Amino acid sequence: MSILTDLLAKKITFGQAVAEGAQWVQQLVAHDPTLTSAAGAALADLKQAASNAVDLADKALGAVIAPATVAVEAAAAAAIARAVGPAAVALTPAVDSAIETIAAALKAEIDAAALAAKAQLAKPLSPG
């Protein structure tokens, strides 16, 4: 499971989520110091998402979002695995770019689904 899914299920704490994210950043920066800025920004995004997940876990909406986070995680993992090949592939600029492109595409799809849902709900009510 992902950090955010585990937070929604209250299996880990915010501190544990941030610590795991920080370990990922350290691993990336140790591999390629030029990733310091991008990794730091990703960690900041993760901290915000973790904070949101903690907040949602205490609300009824958390139970609605939890299955969706599992589905998004599975879709992302499958797309990344297909794009970069075997797990033994090294993090090269091309692999990094492919992963970033997949993440951006999935975020855009989620944004498009949200916009479509809002537009559908914004239709005038028919008299009757």
**Residue 40: other Cβ atoms inside 10 A:** 13
Q: How many CA atoms lie within 13 A of 124 on its CB side?
A: 3
- pLDDT < 50 regions, the chain: none
**How distant, in Å, are the alpha carbons of 8, 43, 90, 104 from that of 55?**
9, 18, 36, 24
The whole-number pLDDT of residue 1 equals 55
The whole-number pLDDT of residue 104 equals 94
Q: How far apart are the first and last CA of the chain?
A: 47
56-90 burial by CB neighbour count: b if 16+ within 10 A, else e? bbeeeebeebbeebbebeeebeebeeeebeeeeee
The whole-number pLDDT of residue 128 equals 61
Q: Whole-prediction pTM value?
A: 0.76
Domain ranges of the chain: 3-121
The whole-number pLDDT of residue 85 equals 83
C-alpha–C-alpha distance, residues 32 and 65, integer Å: 34
How long is the chain? Answer: 128
C-alpha–C-alpha distance, residues 29 and 22, integer Å: 10
